[in-house]
Chains A and B, each alone.
Chain A
Amino acid sequence: MNILSIAIKEMKHDFRDRRTLLFMLGFPIVLMLILGLALTNAFSSEISVGDVKVAVKDATGGGPLSEAFAGFAKEVGKTGVTFEPLKPGANGREEVENNHVSGYVELTNQGISLYGSSRDAIESNIVQGMLASFTDKYNAAAAVARIEPAKTEMVLATGGSDYIRELSVDANRTPGSVDYYALAMTVMVGMWAAMGAGALIQGEVLRGTAVRLVIAPIRKSEIFVGKMLGGIISNLLCVMVIILFSKYVFKAYWGHHMGVVIAVLVSEVVMAMSLGLAGSYLLKGTASRGVISLVVQLMSFFGGAYFPILDDEGGGLMGFLVNLSPIRWANHGLTQVIYADNVSAAWPVLMLNIGFAALFLGVSILAMRRREGL
């Protein structure tokens, strides 16, 4: 009950702060519009996903993986994503870099590897998503094979129709820049929760009201949970407004797994809140707000909020920074969920977010326990 009334109070602060609210909602929407229009050319809007061509090199020398993959390629081929054997003497990675193909798959006895085109980020994601579901099924089949060899065919056979269903949804879908920014902005706003959380406790201290909360006959944990809950709900409402606005006003595409998308965003907001809170405990004083806001800005930048970050696994400082950004994880995972119907791509993101949230919360709770007052 105390938790609830503290959460409601927290939401009153959030929604009565017109200026911050306007910024939270207005900025991403305007940016979505401007970037979405200005950068249309950065997206392969002319090419439908149906034209995706992927080179394949089978180095297994036959065997179950080779066979299964052939079946998969055949099924998938009906929808326009074509897997062609790599021309003898050609280098698969160069083919991709020279934009002759959108991706390059290598089958070896160790498994499957994919080199995606760095230009067609979304096509690459789709191919990656399809391959991920293929490997899932292949692994399942292999596991079945070990126990009951006769049933292997069945697992793979049902698999085939799944790829087709998945692709028939997406094959003619052309992800445009508005779609990209709708997702990117939403993920960015989710991360902004960290900035609010940085001020969660400090705000009470500055207003002097921390005193009243601490002297009331309630537990510190109730204050803590109530404030977190209020902040999470407020931020999620902002995220929802941006999703709905982009969906119905800008007609952005959000795919068929809204529940999964929202679950990922919830986990992101919780993680962001925890990050901000831990930051405000560890970096005492008003400086912490500046630091947290800088970190969030950097995450947005490197995570692809303002321009698409390509699937450049090549490494380097940029690659390293890019992969540190939770915005990047979420963008990446959600692109697969939305465009490749690859729901399982949400799992790693959920796990990372929940894991980091638990870590940051743990740090905050330890810091809170040690303190006198809030």
Chain B
Amino acid sequence: MPKDGGIGASSKRREDIRFLTGEGNYTDDINLHGQAYVFFLRSDIAHGILNSVDTSAAETMPGVVKIFTGADFEAVGSIPCGWQITDKHGEVMQEPRHPVLAHGKVRHVGEPIAAVVAESLAEARDAAEAIVLDITDLPAVINMKEAVKEGATKVHDDLTSNLCYDWGFVEENKGAVDKAFEEAHHVTTLELVNNRLVANPMEPRVAVGDYARGTGDHTLYTTSQNPHVIRLLMGAFVLGIPEHKLRVVAPDVGGGFGTKIFHYQEEAFCTFAAKACNRPVKWTSSRSEAFMLDAHGRDHVTKIQMALDKDNNFTALRTDTYANMGAYLSTFAPSVPTWLHGTLMAGNYKTPLIYVNVKAVFTNTVPVDAYRGAGRPEATYQLERLVDKCAHELGVDPIALRRQNFITEFPYATPVAVEYDTGDYVATMDKLEEISDMAGFAARRKASEAKGKLRGFGVNCYIEACGIAPSNLVGQLGARAGLYESATVRVNATGGLVVMTGSHSHGQGHETSFPQVIAEMIGIPEDMIEIVHGDTANTPMGMGTYGSRSLAVGGSAMVRATEKIIAKAKKIASHLLEASEGDIELKDGAFSVAGTDKSVAWGDVTLAAYVPHNYPLEDIEPGLEETAFYDPSNFTYPSGAYACEVELDPETGHVTIERFSAADDFGNIVNPMIVTGQVHGGLAQGIGQALMENCTYDSDGQLLSASYMDYAMPRASDLPFYTVDHSCQTPCTHNPLGVKGCGEAGAIGSPPAVVNAVLDAMRSGGKDVGHIDMPVTPARVWAAMNS
């Protein structure tokens, strides 16, 4: 029986009422009195020396308020990077200056060179066209392996090379890993590309800067997943504004997928320009700017190898990856191919020895950073493609090979520095075999073949590290921030609650799922609880939403604050009931004295807290408001097994997804409907990566996939009806809710299943190509079939 409220209920998403009726308040809906508009003149070449920027003609154009160039920002800080990697030689990464407006050089197509603030956007744009640039073209650095060769053109003249870092993990294991490969019975090698992606949230980025001369207060309205992080990075490192003089508001945000975590130049510009012009300054990204400038995702080139003994046990794994950083280091870019990727290389398997090498490379492309899954999809894809290849080389069943090597005892300390607390990989694989109707596949393949089509079945497992994570650990790993979360729970006199959370909801449904937790704890209806988020002025310092951390970390902070509320309310109740505190029980919204029929309602207690006439004022303060900061002791480790079934048209190479099944273990579930929705969205993005999406630059650094005419986004008709199951639940052992996080699983877990299925279909047509790179487009499949 589905519950009609509280934990485990599929409560309808209350925020959808305003989203679906056009009542949302997005950043672009914010228009301030006297607002001016900025248009950025952007580089149309990838690499060049900026000899001069002549704004004299533009200054005289109608409507122009002020024109800014790189020179205006010389005294302003660099756009900071939030994570420092130490390389395999113990040296810190190379970290270039990232100016708000280009100065001296341009390093990627779209880099802002000048900014025109004008009365209207059209006037700003007209004036920008009158700016005269003198740029000397330089060769573009695009190919990562070429970029790190001796004598290559440098993206940054003041760095020693284009190599940001050369990371070895775990460096001390390298010798043992190499030895295991020498002694291996069988070695499987796979070279692959993890294709570069554009995040494409429905709402493009927007920034509105405001400045109050009377008080010296700055406000930035921005499309962010983490307003406090933006306040800290921009205030402390770029503009030198103390936090108490800077408010950052991220109102309704229409999707982030990672690319709205980062601090971007446009935010700093609008904040700076609002003061310089003494009026609000607004920037709204065009869709073209979104393609060109929102930090891209993935873009790894990898060689991975597995060593096996004569019984097909995995004995060692080693990888070599080139990871594209783009021209500058975006906020969390260095952490993605390292700590969010290397630590996941054990996957679901008890491979005892692992060595991961990652070379992060600067190129004349836009920065690359976290995108749904961030590092974990890259790890899962290479590992799960490799395991399939092992099975085919050895002539064994790919599922049997996986089962044989599964980790089965928990907690499990991997050789890549993390400890999985719980999981049951056998259970999710069993569930997958059931829900994907593996038994019926042979008949379905026959039916496809009767139509002249090939049919393939592919599986993969995944493990991810979510609920990111313990501050002391990430600090050791190079994070320049803590990764706790916060919540203030304010109980009103009449019993309703407002939760001010440091988490941020940009589509995830926190306004629905968070109240379910409190409703369960107190025993009151969900609609008595309101969630406030997204404004540094009225929420406690929080780290925001990414890495599937909101419920696991932010929800836990809320639980801790609510526990404090309940403890205090019990004290008040014991006074009202004239009973000892230890005898007070809270159930269904009422406090009662154990073993008696004496009770007092939740609302009477909250009223007493604010109208403390009959109140133990000598023992406790009036009021009912508590704050908690929660810092977890470990990541959480969701896991699962996915299966994809494709049909392939051998004449055209066109692949369709016929079935997709996902068996996930997310630990405890608060709202099954929201969890299903999160998996659906993740699967769409994973399947999009596998079949369609490809962000491509040419050798001059021009973005070829710069619009929806050339960047293939999946549509509903490209996707099947999914079979999603999350009944396998091994609760997380270290957070109070036992939850693990579900936001990224679909995107992490689906690409290898798709590619494994396509290869299976091709094999059934007599063509074994070993590997095909994503996206598996019709043209690529046809070329592979005819190779």
A and B interact physically: no
Residues of A near any B CB (own CB < 8 A): none
